Amino acid sequence: MIRKPYFASRLFKTGSLAAGASAAALVLLSLAARPAVAETKTYVVSWFVLAAFLEEGNCPAGLNPDTETFFRRDLAAIGMAPEKIEAVMTARAGAIVAGSSSAADAAMAADALIYRGRANGKPTHAYNYPGTVPDAHINTIESKFAYGFNLDGKGAASPNSFEDPVTHEKGVNNEYFRAVGCHGPERPSPNDPYQTMWAYAWHNLQQSLPAWIISVTGDDLSKDGAVTVTFDKAMEHVDVDVNVKVMADKTFRIDPDPRWHNEYRATLKNGEITTNEPSRFRMLYDSYWVPEFDLTRARLRLTMKPDGSLDGILGGYEKWRALYFAYASFGINAEDQAGLDVPGTYHALKRLADAEPDPKTGENTRISAAFRIEAVPAFAVPLRAATGRSPRGAQFSQSEK
Amino acid sequence: MTLSRRVTRRRVLRGMMGGTAISVGLPLLDCFLNSNGTALASGEALPIVFGTWFQGLGLSQGFWEPKTTGANYAMSQQLAPLAPFKDKLNIYSGMKLYSDGKPIQPHATGPAVCFLGDVQSSPALASIDSLVADSIGQNTRFRSLEVACHGLPESLSRRSGTVSNPSEPSPIAFYQRIFGPDFTDPNAAEFKPSPTVMVRKSVLSSIKDHRLSFANDLGASDKARLDEYFTSLRELESQLNLQLQKPAPLAACSVPRKAEAEGAMGSVIEEALVNHKLFAGLLAHAAACGQTRVFNLMLSTAQSNFRRTGSSDTFHVLTHEEGTDNQLGYQPKTYWFQSQTAEAFAFMLSAFDGIREGDGTLLDRSLIYFSTDTGYAKMHTVENIPLITAGRAAGRMKTGLHIAATGEPVTRLGLTIQQAVGMQVGRWGTGGNETSKPFTEVLA
Amino acid sequence: MAMNWPKSNRRGAMAKLACGLLMATAFGVAVPVHAASEPATPGAESVVRRITPEQYQRIIKDVFGPTIKVNGRFEPEPRVDGLRALGSSRVSVSAAGLQGYDAMARDIAGQVVNEYQRGTLLPCVPASARQPDDGCAGQVLASAGGLLYRRPLSQGELQGLVNDAAAAAKELKDFYAGLSLGIASLLTAPEFLFRKEVPENLGSTADASQISGYSKAARLSFFLWDSAPDGELLRAAAAGELDTEKGLNRQVERLLSSPRIEAGVRAFFTDMLGLDGFDTLTKDAVLYPKFFADVPKDAKEQTLRTIVDHLLARRGDYRDLFTTRRTFLTPLLGAVYRVPVPENAPNTDPSRWVAHEYPEGDQHIGLLTQAGFAALHSHPGRTSPTIRGKALREILLCQKVPDPPGNVNFTVVQDVANPVYKTARARLNAHATESMCTGCHKITDPMGLALENFDATGSYRNRENGVGIDTSGVLDGVTFSDVAGLAKAVHDHPALSSCLVKRVYSYAAGRPAAEGEAEFVSYLSKGFVEDRYQLPALLRRIATSKAFYRVSAPVKSAGDTSISDRENAK
């Protein structure tokens, strides 16, 4: 990959707010020294969620059942006696509600539910070994539409593919949405498009995540033409403003660790930026939810909006186990409190995974997916110029697998 | 269960026939009706009572906030039960907490900031009620009293991260603790003045005469100013004198009738509400009898696990799973639970307002701090957390106001409360939640 | 927040301060420091001042150390003639206020003697912790008392305190409890809470006289350090050194060259510019979502840092504060101003200040374009050229702008969504056509409108409601087309520096300049010009003058009897 300066004042062109003594000046000077005059706009990601397309009837078998129902279903499937199931469910009701179950009963219920996998007749942990819980074949999306891209290149001929409701691109691969789209907590409502589990995660994690910085560089961003798009990890978290929106116009230092530098050739047309060819997308996220995104054959489209912000879709193939553990790490809480069927999700992801088969087992290791991205204007400066210190990113270099 | 069924008409009548102020003020607290005839309080200044009232999962965003701010606002849809007390309370909307780069754990972070002023529940910190109790709770039988309607001994009150003040979940046991054999009637108690106050008084008296010479050689206007200082000094002295005398009898103090039945301990909201009524009455009586000046009541835990009789859907699960009704604009079942909060809090206020003390009521000299863990429960946000203060804090709080403090840290209210109860505190909270700005508009 | 001055700079500053002539020649202009001799003044009546909350906190830290926390709520001073410092000469202590002082005093005394601190804070250990020890108590109370009263305690005062502490220690069987009552007693004393000045030789005549050495020491230190005198200054006072020109000069130079001068300069400008307004400033959260939490605090600090850096560290010309392109920013302020400010410290570190210089031609120029002025003098949801113009005239030029009449229709001005009048200028023009308003708005608006490029939070904009902003205007005959022109007009305005002189002198004296002092004030103003508008030189000129320490006899009202006479007669 070529390494161009991927940082700059987004107001470089106007120059009226250019810095004098600050470190950012170094950036501007280095840019100004380049022979070709280019314009760069930089942004910080302000919203990142599963790109779920809301549509009545795209779960023909209905939404997935509530917690109590799928617990009973799974216990019956492993052959638990009806009386015992009743005892477990009664104790569970008493355990999640204070005081009505003895501690022993509550522990019995928790054990029965958490260890509801079976291997050789012995109980196994349902979240660590979800494959040992019988596959309940949870309900999945059956529809024409889903956000995303034609990742496998097969176009409309691709089996099980969707059509993007905005671009009308055919052959869209988004099996991740298919797998989890019929979970109630993953479905946005018309009132409140932001009420999904992914939105919940973003809302609560945004101020502790590393900020993601996007830059768009071209000869003249007010005109159609070739542009370069970068994604980098910042050294800082985002700040939020008084309305809990990511604060615009803050300055971020770019982590020089090359693993989090993504660079794409793209085309700007009518304010829409589309990457030219599939590439990889790697970015650090949250250790509890999804530690790291690593999309292969990634595609990107971004709209430059009149208010100065960006809005778009990122698609690619992600390791489905990484997505599974976002749910599994919540364990019994994901099931009991949020109504998400964790082993059921596991089976669906595994079944619908559609790329990169393991050479030994033949099992697909990745699943097609699409994420919604929004970003607001921000400043970006290189770490070294900002602090004069050696990059902190170096300490991660040993932990890479 | 249930208490209400056991209360007989005869008992109600007997209470009413007693003709006491309490029976009028606490129509619903039949079991606590006083059997003594009590005189009204003499009207002397009675001390501030501070309490916290907590309930998990907040109120329904968009439906609890009054539409206008300042005085003379119209009570909001969900807080309609509080309308009778509108002139005695303040509603605070728009406030939030700052996570300072830490992940938000809604059910822990919200109470941590409301009670400790700190996102991380740092072990060194004491809860706001403990700070208040340090200031005003020293000379009462109980430094503070903690009760919970959720069936567990949990409480949000703590001296530090390792010493928390457990809640009493049983109203019957709580009655025994306050009004059992150890209870001595304040109106007849022996009195022993505090030696610390005695020496303070003697130091003050000995230096007063000396200090008077300070103003001797001043011009007329400066002398007048110093004269005010010396007047203040004499007032301070007479205050100390007052503390050295046997306190005025608490005319409004009466011993409630023993509770004989209580709601089942657990998470069924109907049972918890029965216990809430009992606790509200007992706390009001305990405060009126000078047994404590600080209390903490939890209706539910943070992340409320209340459910309705016969349903296994807990309030918390509903906030996540229940869809928003497009016509109503809210989650209907969740809304129901949140409305119970408003009803219960209104009952709490009626219990305090029902005890007449001279020209005012117990509520007038109280300050009750309503807080919760989340703003918009569906998303578990920690913005726009509903907060209320009820009572006039013995004249130190102005009331009848809706204060829209969008984006302000919730700690501003905690600081305001501490100053209202007379604590010498200039700032409160840690990190981004630290503030030195009380709501001066409510401090009288 | 101490500014980190480069060492060499500080040394240079001291060397320059030590010799005024040297400083002047450094600029290649040989100007004697005292060009004209100081005019005679009749003195004015000394005023008793209540110490301010900031002074109280600073003194406690100075006397008992930085580990002591001051918890409490203070009664506010009113602003009189543009300064809270003059308000402190008008206030007393209410009953509630004294209760507050009393509770604060006991809290502080409790911290001083608390078992974790007493070992390091107290100079002695009692023979028994459960019994009185007059020797140890006397030692503590004499040294703390001397610093708090700003003079040594009399034998009678000390004995009284020691006796009280002993009686309390005996009663409570606790030496430290007794001692803490003694310390608390000092902290509620009028001798501590009020600054009273004692004339040196005011006999039966009502002639003007100098104040006593200890009173001089207090005047000096409150003026230059915003705190009580330190041990060295009290020593000089006791030795009579402040009554000699040489001794006084030496102490003034010491105070001016101490890093503590920064606290004094911050206190003065906080007062003069009304920066305490930021403690309660709020903005409309919908329109200005970035202006919340730490931003108002940062905005205030930005202005103070700019001032301290320019006037102290750089020995700059006061007038250049209004045209300087140098300032300091935090990442949050950077977001408000839309200027790149990289973090230079880990997240949540509160001290993230970065030196910043705007390039030539940038619209950010001088104090007027900082949020410290532009946001402070705006409404919560919109700018106000009128308020800004009024503030500029009243605060910086010491001119008085009349208040608006009571029955004015402001509808047009307030309606920022007005479809016809899209900019503040258009709205004000529509409003000011009402004849009774025209006169006053002519005084304030033409310079306020030049600041319209800065919204109600100080963020730059060049359009309002889609219409370009016209920033042309006029200030007392000087016309300009943009904010840089306004900045220059303010810089060159003759009232700018004389206003500062007037404010500094009344701040120092605790009262407006007296009638008989007009000539002295004009001497100070001329001197300020000669001193190339350098603030330290002005401070020195006041602090070493005779007029500063001269008081007249107090005016007693007819039939006046002292309070103690009345008390004793009871």
* Rounded distance between C-alpha atoms, residue B373 and residue B376, angstroms: 10
Do both A35 and A179 map to the same domain?
A: yes
Contact yes or no for B314 and A99 at CB 8 A? no
CB of B113 closer than 8 Å to CB of B278: no
Instruction: Report ipTM for this prediction.
Output: 0.82
What is the pLDDT averaged over residues A99-114?
Answer: 82
Q: H/E/C letters for each residue in B53-93?
A: EECCCCCCCCCCCCCCCEECCCCCCCCHHHHHHHHHEEEEE
Dihedral sign of CA atoms B18, B20, B24, B29 in order: negative
Q: H/E/C letters for each residue in A99-113?
A: CCCCHHHHHHHHHHH
Do both C461 and C546 map to the same domain?
A: no
Residues of A in contact with C356 (CB under 8 A): 19-22
Q: Which of B104, B331, B374 to mutate to test the interface with A (most CBs of A within 10 A)?
A: B104
Do both A323 and A296 map to the same domain?
A: yes
- Which of C157, C347, C562 lies at the smallest CB-CB distance from B210? C157
Do both A333 and A250 map to the same domain?
A: yes
Residue A390 reports pLDDT greater than 50 = no
Could you list the residue range(s) of the whole structural domain that residue A81 is in? 67-132
Chains interfacing with A (3 or more CB pairs < 8 Å): B, C
Residue type, B26: L
Residue A338 reports pLDDT greater than 80 = no
Do both A71 and A213 map to the same domain?
A: no
B358 at the C interface (CB within 8 A)? no
Crossing angle for the helix pair B171-179 and B269-288, to the nearest 10 degrees: 10
Has residue C220 been placed in a domain? no
Contact yes or no for A185 and B321 at CB 8 A? yes
* Rounded distance between C-alpha atoms, residue C268 and residue C508, angstroms: 9
CA angle A263, A268, A166 (to 5 degrees): 100
Do both A125 and A256 map to the same domain?
A: no
Place of tokens 């320019």: C310
In A120-196, beta strands by DSSP E:
122-124
Q: What is the pLDDT of residues C431-441, one digit of tens each?
A: 766 666 777 78
Q: Is B1 exposed, middle or buried (0-12, 13-18, 19+ CB in 10 A)?
A: middle
Q: Tally the domains of chain A.
A: 2
Do both C488 and C504 map to the same domain?
A: no
CA within 13 Å, CB half, C73:
23
H-helix or E-strand containing B109?
A: helix B106-116
Q: What is the pLDDT of residues C295-319, one digit of tens each?
A: 999 999 999 999 999 999 999 999 9
Do both A39 and A99 map to the same domain?
A: no
Q: What is the pLDDT of residues A46-79, one digit of tens each?
A: 999 999 888 888 999 999 998 889 999 999 999 9
Number of CB pairs < 8 Å for B and C?
Answer: 157
- Which of C191, C292, C563 lies at the smallest CB-CB distance from B227? C563
The CA–CA distances, whole Å, from C479 to B369, C428, C471 equal 57, 19, 11
C399's CB contacts (< 8 A; 6+ apart) are C393, C495
Q: What DSSP assignment string belongs to B317-369? A: HHHHHSPPPTTTSS-HHHHHHHHHHHHHHHHHHHHHHTSEETTEEGGGGEEEE
- Among chain C residues, CA nearest to B100: C348
Residue type, B2: T
Do both C444 and C541 map to the same domain?
A: no
Residue type, C434: E
CB of A354 closer than 8 Å to CB of A175: yes
CATH architecture, range B45-189+258-433: 3-Layer(aba) Sandwich (3.40)
Do both C181 and C283 map to the same domain?
A: no
Do both A385 and A357 map to the same domain?
A: yes
Among residues A75, A106, A132, the one where a domain terminates is A132
Has residue C23 been placed in a domain? no
* Rounded distance between C-alpha atoms, residue C486 and residue A207, angstroms: 41
Q: Would you state the structure tokens that stand for residue C481, as one six-digit string?
A: 């087309």
Contact yes or no for C343 and A253 at CB 8 A? yes
What is the end-to-end Cα distance of chain A in Å, rounded?
Answer: 21
Question: What's the pLDDT score for residue A20?
Answer: 33
C406: confidence class by pLDDT, cuts 50, 70, 90: low
Do both C342 and C486 map to the same domain?
A: yes
Q: A249 or A35, which is more confident?
A: A249
CA distance A227 to chain C (A): 23
Do both C113 and C168 map to the same domain?
A: yes
Contact yes or no for B307 and A66 at CB 8 A? no
Do both A269 and A377 map to the same domain?
A: yes
Contact yes or no for A338 and B265 at CB 8 A? no
Contact yes or no for C334 and A250 at CB 8 A? yes
Q: H/E/C letters for each residue in C539-557?
A: HHHHHCCCHHHEEECCCCC
CB of A112 closer than 8 Å to CB of A75: yes
* Rounded distance between C-alpha atoms, residue A57 and residue A142, angstroms: 8
CA distance A289 to chain C (A): 22
H-assigned helices in B117-194: 128-136, 171-179
CB of B247 closer than 8 Å to CB of B191: yes
Q: A387 or C254, which is more confident?
A: C254
* Rounded distance between C-alpha atoms, residue A231 and residue A239, angstroms: 19
The CA–CA distances, whole Å, from C261 to C56, C268, C312, C501 equal 17, 11, 9, 18
C42's CB contacts (< 8 A; 6+ apart) are C208, C514, C516, C517, C550, C552
Crossing angle for the helix pair C424-432 and C435-448, to the nearest 10 degrees: 150
Q: What are phi and psi of A135, to 5 degrees?
A: -70, 115
Has residue C355 been placed in a domain? yes
Question: What's the pLDDT score for residue B188?
Answer: 63
Has residue C20 been placed in a domain? no
A322's CB contacts (< 8 A; 6+ apart) are A290, A291, A292, A294
Contact yes or no for A20 and C358 at CB 8 A? yes
Q: Tally the domains of chain C.
A: 3
* Rounded distance between C-alpha atoms, residue B362 and residue B342, angstroms: 20
CA within 13 Å, CB half, C552:
12
Has residue A396 been placed in a domain? no
* Rounded distance between C-alpha atoms, residue A40 and residue A380, angstroms: 11
- Which of C290, C331, C342 lies at the smallest CB-CB distance from A23? C342
CA within 13 Å, CB half, B58:
31
Distance of CA B311 to the CA centre of its chain: 32
A204 at the B interface (CB within 8 A)? yes
Q: Would you state the structure tokens that stand for residue C452, as one six-digit string?
A: 């319209």
* Rounded distance between C-alpha atoms, residue A329 and residue A141, angstroms: 24
Do both C307 and C325 map to the same domain?
A: yes
* Rounded distance between C-alpha atoms, residue A33 and residue C6, angstroms: 33
Q: C48 or B214, which is more confident?
A: C48
What is the pLDDT averaged over residues C514-534?
Answer: 95
Buried residues in B267-283 as b, exposed as e (16+ CB within 10 A):
bbbbbbbbbbbbbbbbb
Reading phi first (left if > 0) and then psi (alpha if -120 to 50, else beta), residue A176 is in: alpha
Do both C442 and C530 map to the same domain?
A: no
Residue type, C122: L
CB of A211 closer than 8 Å to CB of A220: no
Taking Cα atoms as reference points, which of B425, B401, B422, B399 lies closest to residue B411?
B425
Longest dimension (CA), chain C: 84
A235 at the C interface (CB within 8 A)? yes
Do both A109 and A169 map to the same domain?
A: no
* Rounded distance between C-alpha atoms, residue A369 and residue A147, angstroms: 9
Contact yes or no for A98 and B301 at CB 8 A? yes
Do both C486 and C522 map to the same domain?
A: no
Contact yes or no for A22 and C340 at CB 8 A? yes
Q: What DSSP assignment string belongs to C137-148? A: HHHHHHHHHHHH
Do both C473 and C528 map to the same domain?
A: no
Residue A203 reports pLDDT greater than 70 = yes
CA angle B206, C104, B218 (to 5 degrees): 55
Do both A244 and A116 map to the same domain?
A: no
CB of C209 closer than 8 Å to CB of C195: no
Q: Is A91 exposed, middle or buried (0-12, 13-18, 19+ CB in 10 A)?
A: buried
Q: Would you state the structure tokens that stand for residue B26, as one six-digit string?
A: 């606490």
CB of C84 closer than 8 Å to CB of C78: yes
Do both C547 and C487 map to the same domain?
A: no
Residues of B in contact with C47 (CB under 8 A): 222
Question: What's the pLDDT score for residue A56?
Answer: 85
Do both C430 and C447 map to the same domain?
A: yes
- Which of C286, C340, C343 lies at the smallest CB-CB distance from A236? C343
The partner residues of B298 in beta bridges, in order of sequence, read B54, B148
Q: Would you state the structure tokens that stand for residue A105, as one six-digit string?
A: 């009963």
Taking Cα atoms as reference points, which of A285, A275, A344 lies closest to residue A319?
A285
* Rounded distance between C-alpha atoms, residue B271 and residue B308, angstroms: 9
Average pLDDT, chain C: 85
Has residue A400 been placed in a domain? no
Has residue A2 been placed in a domain? no
Residue C569 reports pLDDT greater than 50 = no
Do both A330 and A289 map to the same domain?
A: yes
Has residue A282 been placed in a domain? yes
Taking Cα atoms as reference points, which of A238, A192, A226 lies closest to residue A379?
A238
B182 at the C interface (CB within 8 A)? no
Question: What's the pLDDT score for residue C261?
Answer: 97
pLDDT 10s per residue in chain B (444 long)? Answer: 333 333 322 222 222 222 222 222 232 233 333 333 233 333 347 889 999 999 999 999 999 999 999 999 999 999 999 999 999 999 999 998 887 777 777 788 889 999 999 988 887 788 999 899 888 876 777 788 999 998 887 889 887 665 667 788 889 989 988 888 767 677 765 677 778 888 888 888 876 777 777 887 888 888 888 888 888 888 788 777 866 777 667 778 888 888 778 888 777 899 899 999 999 999 999 999 888 899 999 999 888 878 887 776 778 878 877 777 878 888 899 999 999 999 999 999 999 999 998 888 999 999 999 999 988 888 788 889 999 999 999 999 999 999 999 889 999 999 999 999 988 888 999 988 999 999 999 998
CB of B301 closer than 8 Å to CB of B150: yes
Do both A33 and A124 map to the same domain?
A: no
Contact yes or no for B380 and A204 at CB 8 A? yes
A210: DSSP letter: P
Residue type, A153: G
- Which of A99, A189, A208 lies at the smallest CB-CB distance from B101? A208
Among residues C163, C193, C223, the one where a domain terminates is C193
Among residues A77, A108, A132, the one where a domain terminates is A132
* Rounded distance between C-alpha atoms, residue A100 and residue B147, angstroms: 19
Q: Which of A54, A97, A194, A246 to mutate to test the interface with B (most CBs of B within 10 A)?
A: A97
Residues 107-146, chain C: which have Cβ within 8 Å of B?
107
Has residue A110 been placed in a domain? yes
Q: Would you state the structure tokens that stand for residue A329, as one six-digit string?
A: 């790490």
Among residues A84, A110, A132, the one where a domain terminates is A132
CA angle B209, B210, B214 (to 5 degrees): 110
Q: Which of B214, B411, B421 to mutate to test the interface with C (most CBs of C within 10 A)?
A: B214
Longest dimension (CA), chain A: 80
Question: What's the pLDDT score for residue B97?
Answer: 87
pTM value is 0.74
Could you list the residue range(s) of the whole structural domain that residue C529 is in? 494-552
Among residues C446, C473, C492, the one where a domain terminates is C492
Question: What's the pLDDT score for residue B247?
Answer: 62
How many residues are there in chain A? 401
